[in-house]
Amino acid sequence: MIVFCYGTTAEAIKLGPVMRRLDARGVPYRQWVTLQQAGTVLEALAGLGIPEPDEVIVCGRGGRPLHGTLDVVVWIGRIAGWALRNRRRLRGRRGHDVVVVHGDTMTSVVGALLARATHMDSAHVEAGLRSGDWRHPFPEELDRRIVGRLATVHYAPDDIAAGHLPGRDVVITHGNTVMDAIRDRVRSAPGRDGEERYGVVLLHRFEFLGNGALVRRTLDTIVRHAPERVVMVVDDLARHSLAAVLPGLPDDRVRVVDKMPHGAFAELVAGAAFIVTDSGGVQEEAAMLGVPTLVHRRATERTEGLGANVLLSGWDVEVLRDFLGDVDALRTAPKDDGVSPSQIVVDDLVGRRYAS
């Protein structure tokens, strides 16, 4: 039995290509969702070609997304209670059943722990990425390290990531499944000749949003120096954290929009003149599409695009200003080597006889 455990929209986007390829192969699977991002995950599934989940373990905290430490503690307590109540029904067999988790969220850790508690193996998609600094990004870097110790099988995107997992059962997937998420939606960057140019801004990490001075300097730099009007995409956490800032942004320079379905977002970034983001997933997408991108973080665990169309700011707004001053210098041709990381994961899961 194959079980996917996820709790955020980003996880659903990146696990979706694996599920769709299992569907195409006629391989059954189950889904356990924690709804860490309550209110957005279930709404996104139909557009991602993912069926309704089999088990909704918990719905955030009281039906809303997690916003603070207390929310997280309550959320974890409810997951533990669910596991205890259902331990006999969920009990699996090592070597025969597997819980598949993705990336670096709290749900990634929860899924790996649930696998231990239910006597199943666990498989970590996008394994082995490391920034080298446990504080950046936080808590994602710690989440990855914990899952790296708990997981049975590790699907690492490249040799560098695999090198962080010595002695582990590692399968190199030659990229991350987000590549398939983009290819399934956007086969190539659409032409924009004659259309109004725009930039995309997506800044949503806790460590950035919690730094008020940096937020103000960053947004002021974007407003003053962006060569085009920008579309600023905000999720629930960003809208909540920036409630006092967003109304003051000039409409003629910044258009604020809510988080959108992945298909629409993929088209948005594919046609962008440039991107400013703190999202590792968007960094990967932009690297494949060749869109000039500034990753506004202190450190990144990903290598995609660095030295080509992707620049790391280190939270230095002067680097951001220089990037905005000549974005076209970083544009590269879209990449497609024909390799499907999701298909590699599917073939390996089936080859290990996890499929029912």
| Judgement on whether residues 108 and 163 belong to the same structural domain of the protein | yes
**Locate tokens 């809510």: which residue?**
258
DSSP element (H, E) containing 156? strand 153-156
* Residue 286: half-sphere exposure toward Cβ, Cα within 13 Å: 33
pLDDT the model gives residue 142: 95
Distance CA 145, CA 148 (A): 5
Query: Which residue intervals of the chain are DSSP H helices?
Result: 9-25, 41-45, 69-85, 87-90, 106-117, 140-150, 159-163, 178-183, 206-209, 212-225, 236-241, 262-270, 280-289, 317-325, 341-351
CB atoms within 10 A of CB 188: 12
Q: Which domain holds residue 91?
A: 2-184+339-351
Task: Please report whether residue 190 resides in a domain.
Answer: no
| Judgement on whether residues 325 and 347 belong to the same structural domain of the protein | no
| Judgement on whether residues 125 and 87 belong to the same structural domain of the protein | yes
pLDDT the model gives residue 191: 46
Task: Report the DSSP beta bridge partners of residue 258.
Answer: 234
* b (16+ CB within 10 A) / e for 116-125: eebebbbbbb
| Judgement on whether residues 169 and 268 belong to the same structural domain of the protein | no
Task: Locate 330 and state its tokens.
Answer: 């970083």
Q: Is the peptide bond before 17 cis (omega within 30 degrees of 0)?
A: no
Long-range contacts of 310-313 (CB under 8 A, 24+ apart): 310/283, 310/286
pLDDT the model gives residue 162: 97
Which candidate, 72, 90, 68, places its Cα nearest to that of 7?
Answer: 72
Task: Please report whether residue 267 resides in a domain.
Answer: yes
| Judgement on whether residues 29 and 74 belong to the same structural domain of the protein | yes
Task: Please report whether residue 99 resides in a domain.
Answer: yes
Q: Which whole-number Å values give the CA distances from 49 to 23, 82, 84, 264, in the listed order? A: 10, 27, 31, 14
* CATH number of residue 229's parent domain: 3.40.50.2000
Looking at the structure of the chain, the number of domains it has is 2
pLDDT the model gives residue 59: 92
In the chain, what is the greatest distance between 2 CA atoms, to the nearest angstrom?
Answer: 62
| Judgement on whether residues 250 and 345 belong to the same structural domain of the protein | no
pLDDT the model gives residue 67: 80
Task: Please report whether residue 194 resides in a domain.
Answer: no
| Judgement on whether residues 203 and 298 belong to the same structural domain of the protein | yes
Distance CA 34, CA 48 (A): 18
| Judgement on whether residues 175 and 50 belong to the same structural domain of the protein | yes
pLDDT the model gives residue 188: 44
Q: Residues of the chain whose pLDDT is less than 70?
A: 187-194, 356
| Judgement on whether residues 176 and 313 belong to the same structural domain of the protein | no
| Judgement on whether residues 123 and 259 belong to the same structural domain of the protein | no
**Locate tokens 């193996």: which residue?**
121
Rg of the chain in Å (alpha carbons):
20
| Judgement on whether residues 315 and 343 belong to the same structural domain of the protein | no
Task: Please report whether residue 89 resides in a domain.
Answer: yes
Which candidate, 45, 31, 38, 34, places its Cα nearest to that of 7?
Answer: 34
pLDDT the model gives residue 190: 47
Task: Locate 335 and state its tokens.
Answer: 């990449």
pLDDT the model gives residue 64: 84
Calculate the CA dihedral of residues 46, 126, 60, 240 and round it to 10 degrees: -90
Task: Please report whether residue 191 resides in a domain.
Answer: no
pLDDT, tens digit, 9 for 90 and up, residues 251-305:
999 999 998 888 889 999 999 999 999 998 899 999 999 999 999 999 998 889 9
| Judgement on whether residues 169 and 218 belong to the same structural domain of the protein | no
Task: Please report whether residue 225 resides in a domain.
Answer: yes
Task: Please report whether residue 189 resides in a domain.
Answer: no
How far is CA 9 from its chain centroid?
8
